[in-house]
Amino acid sequence: MDFELNDEQKMLQEMATRFVSETYGFSQREHALKSDAGWSREAWAGLAEMGLLGLPFAEEDGGFGGGGVEMMIVMEAIGRGLMVEPYFATVVLAGAVLRHGASADQRAAIVPGIVAGETIVTLAHHEAGMPRHATAARTRAMRDGEGWILDGGKIGVLHGAGADRLIVSAQGEEGLSLFLVDADAPGLRVEGARGYDGVPVASVHLSGVRVGADALIGAAGQGEAILTRAFEEATAGLVAEAVGAMSETFDLTVDYLKTRQQFGVTIGSFQALQHRAVDMLMELELSRSMAILAALSLDSDADQRSRNIAAAKAQIGKSGRLIGQAAVQLHGAIGITAEYKVGHAFKRLTAIDALLGDRDHHLAALAEKGGVYRAAA
């Protein structure tokens, strides 16, 4: 793919990459995972100080108006560092919902806090027994005068226990709707946990939670359309994060092959292992090209955008598994220990594949559409 960053994008890439490499080593990740919150407020403040928390939001909302390529650059850096902070949950996923659905007043009340690193917002949508790519919900929204009453439960809510506000999806008479709910709302109970990749998750229980008319994001029944668009942008972000994690895994593996000795020579001198490393590199470069395609596709028409993003997610599902497996095998037993970064990266790549539809789901979606490109008329 013929693609080159402009000068501003190169500066952003250099800044984000330097921040992660200089301030978020593996020891910092381990420390964050062991903390009560499961992530680092110091690292979050650093992201805010550099303006990265405001990257995708419009300038009139207090952001910087970045697009898909800028988001790809930052998410790849975050993937390299295996950062567990709520950048994806708050800035990418919940941020996309706010940008495409929230009113100007709602954005004015929430976005400045996100940009400053003072407010954590996350999407509470997934439910037990439903696929992770679903845009439907069993949680109910009943009208109560000018407001609403919410009843139901959510699982796998990214950074739910540390959120200041939740965006809750619920089914009403008009269809699926989205609501802003304060974390301390009466009737709301949040139970924190950790995902197998270390990222904090939560179960959310809503029992008679009352919200006002101003809590509704967009119009009643518009939730599915907002989520569909937000999921596409979030998926493109996940693809870029996966490329970062795969890049770091590949670099660590090559360095190991150059230093680990067996029979008096470095194991990287064995041709069979060189072939494995080349296979990893090919998968990485295929994924990088698809990440670029996904980022550029965010400005395409809806049909081609959905095709390209599905193809990109399917590619990183395949490549992430192959690179992760090869890295663990080439490292030997150390590759799966909690004290080594490769095993953590493999877990994160596995989680990314599952989020918002796995490889099989996106391949099926592509097949239903007839492939990546429309058939010629």
Tokens of 93: 């996923």
Q: Give ranges for CATH 1.10.540.10 in the chain.
A: 7-118
Reported as a pLDDT band with limits 50, 70 and 90, residue 269 is confident
Please give the CATH topology (third level) of the domain spanning 224-369.
Butyryl-CoA Dehydrogenase, subunit A; domain 3 (1.20.140)
| CATH class in words for 7-118 | mainly alpha
Conformation bin of residue 180: beta by default, left when phi > 0, alpha when psi is -120 to 50: beta
Q: Give ranges for CATH 1.20.140.10 in the chain.
A: 224-369
Position 163 scores a pLDDT of 98
Stated pTM of the model: 0.95
Q: What is the mean pLDDT of residues 124-151?
A: 94
Whether 160 contacts 90, CB under 8 Å:
no
% of the chain at pLDDT higher than 90: 90
Give 96-112 pLDDT, tens digit per residue.
999 999 999 999 999 99
* CATH dotted code for 123-219: 2.40.110.10
Q: Quick check: 89 pLDDT over 90?
A: yes
- 243 alpha-carbon distance from chain centroid: 12
| Distance of alpha carbon 101 from alpha carbon 94, whole angstroms | 10
Q: What is the mean pLDDT of residues 239-266?
A: 95
List all residues 6 or more positions away from 348 whose beta carbon is below 8 Å from its beta carbon: 79, 82, 197, 198, 199, 245
Q: Give ranges for CATH 2.40.110.10 in the chain.
A: 123-219
Q: What is the mean pLDDT of residues 129-156?
A: 94
The mean-pLDDT minimum among 71-80, 232-241, 332-341 falls in 332-341
Reported as a pLDDT band with limits 50, 70 and 90, residue 222 is very high
Position 377 scores a pLDDT of 54
Position 376 scores a pLDDT of 57
Position 375 scores a pLDDT of 67
**Mean of the per-residue pLDDT values of the chain:** 95
| Distance of alpha carbon 315 from alpha carbon 228, whole angstroms | 20
Reported as a pLDDT band with limits 50, 70 and 90, residue 2 is low
Q: Quick check: 345 pLDDT over 60?
A: yes
% of the chain at pLDDT higher than 70: 99
Whether 97 contacts 107, CB under 8 Å:
no
Reported as a pLDDT band with limits 50, 70 and 90, residue 271 is very high
Classify strands 165-172 and 121-124 as parallel, antiparallel or unpaired: parallel
Position 338 scores a pLDDT of 87
Reported as a pLDDT band with limits 50, 70 and 90, residue 155 is very high
* Higher-confidence position of 132 and 282: 282
Position 336 scores a pLDDT of 86
Strand ranges in 212-326 using DSSP code E only, listed in sequence order: 216-217, 261-262, 265-266
Q: Quick check: 86 pLDDT over 80?
A: yes
Position 28 scores a pLDDT of 95
Q: Quick check: 260 pLDDT over 70?
A: yes
Q: What is the mean pLDDT of residues 310-318?
A: 97
Position 1 scores a pLDDT of 53
| Distance of alpha carbon 14 from alpha carbon 186, whole angstroms | 45
